[in-house]
Structure 1
Amino acid sequence: MANFSNLAKQISVTVDTIRRWLDVLESFYFSYRVRPWFKNVSKSLRKQPKIYTTDWSAIPDPGARCESFMAAHLLKAVNYWTDAGLGQFALHYIRDAYQREVDFLVVRDGVPWMLIEVKNSAKEPISPALVHFSRELMVPHTFQAVWEMDEVDADCFANPTTDHPLRIPMRTLLSQLL
């Protein structure tokens, strides 16, 4: 998550300059922002977005690289679904006052539709924040997508996963988005 004020102080420029630089990077398709989701839209616009680079392969940290990889594919899917007339889709992340956060929330026609937490290893337990938001928002499709997990032959969207997030290989989930 980018804190524009801290970044501006670190490099001795104004917050507006940081925003303009990010706008330029977005206009060249070098980066994009994923905004937090709130039922109150004006509140979400005041919160800090996450900023992702389109060149996820250049990210040295494995966890951040996996998250950026997933973000790029989700953004592509959300744009396609909207353009194909399947609904109005948007990509967000979700975080509450208790610092519980889930990496991605796909909203369909203004309603939470899919939650995704990205993990590098299958050894990591199901995220408690993922379980919490899945139940609180009654999201029909909830996944913990794992990078280092062999692909399986499963239909990710066959059954609602509101009460029990599904741990799924990232390859399997991504292969079923488009």
Structure 2
Amino acid sequence: MYICKLLPFSLSEIKGKYKSDDYHQLLLKGFYPRLYSTNMKYCDLYPSYIETYIERDVRQIKNIKDLSLFIKFLQIAAGHVGQLVNLSEIGNQVGVSHNTVRDWFSILEASYIVFFLRPFHKNIKKRLVKQPKLYFYDTGVLCNLLNISDFDQLFSHYNKGGIFESFVISEFFKRKFNTGSQEKFSFYRDSKGHEVDLLIEKGQKVDAIEIKSSSTFNKSFLKNIKYLNKTADGIINDSAVIYGGNLKNSINNIDIIPWKDF
């Protein structure tokens, strides 16, 4: 049986409906179809969507007695976007056990609210982290849970980088599901803190992608990809930096790709 995963719109599916070269308003709006077929505003949609999701879907999947505690968990989980998942830390912040956090994350996964990116372990002789990283499929939901409601709040948010990263990586997952691709996604991070945000496995070769929310390119964006190229025993195929700006370039065989063009 073929199972079709229906996620929020991808960037290519709303092409022509968002014409700005700045991504902030798009991340606030998110990608739920209703926002692109009606005049409904995102600030009206997401609070009711989250309430309906919790009241209806969560109750159907698992009988959670204290829904207010689950809402707190959702908000705290949103604050960890783009970070390594520590179940005990999140449990302490929410006031529940790490086993409960694991169960609740399984609910969010099953309903396509969040997904996890696993660490890469193949063919690299380094001590690598074992925890996955947390992302949300839709940045509109994510921003609402973080109480980000306008451009200025998003622009100055302490974890804008994590929100932008979630946007880019979710795009790759949407494309995979939409095309039926067999690509495998992971990230690289070693014990010394070297990190590359996204690795795409294609057979025996791997594409390496670094993600930066800055609208201005900086050559420092290349350093971790260069490090991985030296470390990964020739398995890296193509390399790229996807960033929040609008100028395309290529430096040392690493493509510099604007956010609208990847």
Structure-2-length-normalised TM-score: 0.53
Q: Classify the secondary structure of the residue corresponding to 2:118.
A: strand
Do 1:91 and 1:104's aligned partners in 2 also have CA atoms closer than 8 Å? yes
Aligned to 1:119: 212
**Amino acid paired to 1:65:** I
Q: Is 1:101 aligned with 2:195?
A: yes
**Amino acid paired to 2:209:** I
**1:71 Cα deviation (Å)?**
0.9
Q: Would you tell me which structure has more strand in proportion to its own residues?
A: 1
Do 1:78 and 1:91's aligned partners in 2 also have CA atoms closer than 8 Å? no
Give aligned-pair identity as a percent: 25
Do 2:217 and 2:243's aligned partners in 1 also have CA atoms closer than 8 Å? no
Aligned to 2:260: 171
**1:92 Cα deviation (Å)?**
0.7
Task: Specify the structure having the higher radius of gyration (Cα).
Answer: 2
Distance 1:4 1:172, change over 3 A: same
Q: Is 1:130 aligned with 2:228?
A: no
Do 2:217 and 2:245's aligned partners in 1 also have CA atoms closer than 8 Å? no
Aligned to 1:72: 170
Using CA pairs below 8 Å that are at least 6 residues apart, which structure has the higher relative contact order? 2
Aligned to 2:139: 56
Whole-Å separation in 2 of the counterparts to 1:112 and 1:105: 10
**1:112 Cα deviation (Å)?**
4.2
Q: Classify the secondary structure of the residue corresponding to 1:7.
A: helix
Length, aligned pairs only: 156
**Amino acid paired to 1:129:** N
Do 1:70 and 1:118's aligned partners in 2 also have CA atoms closer than 8 Å? yes
Structure-1-length-normalised TM-score: 0.76
Do 2:206 and 2:238's aligned partners in 1 also have CA atoms closer than 8 Å? yes
Do 1:105 and 1:112's aligned partners in 2 also have CA atoms closer than 8 Å? no
Do 1:131 and 1:164's aligned partners in 2 also have CA atoms closer than 8 Å? no
Structure 1 unpaired stretches of 5+: 41-45, 174-178
Do 2:184 and 2:201's aligned partners in 1 also have CA atoms closer than 8 Å? yes
Whole-Å separation in 1 of the counterparts to 2:191 and 2:171: 28
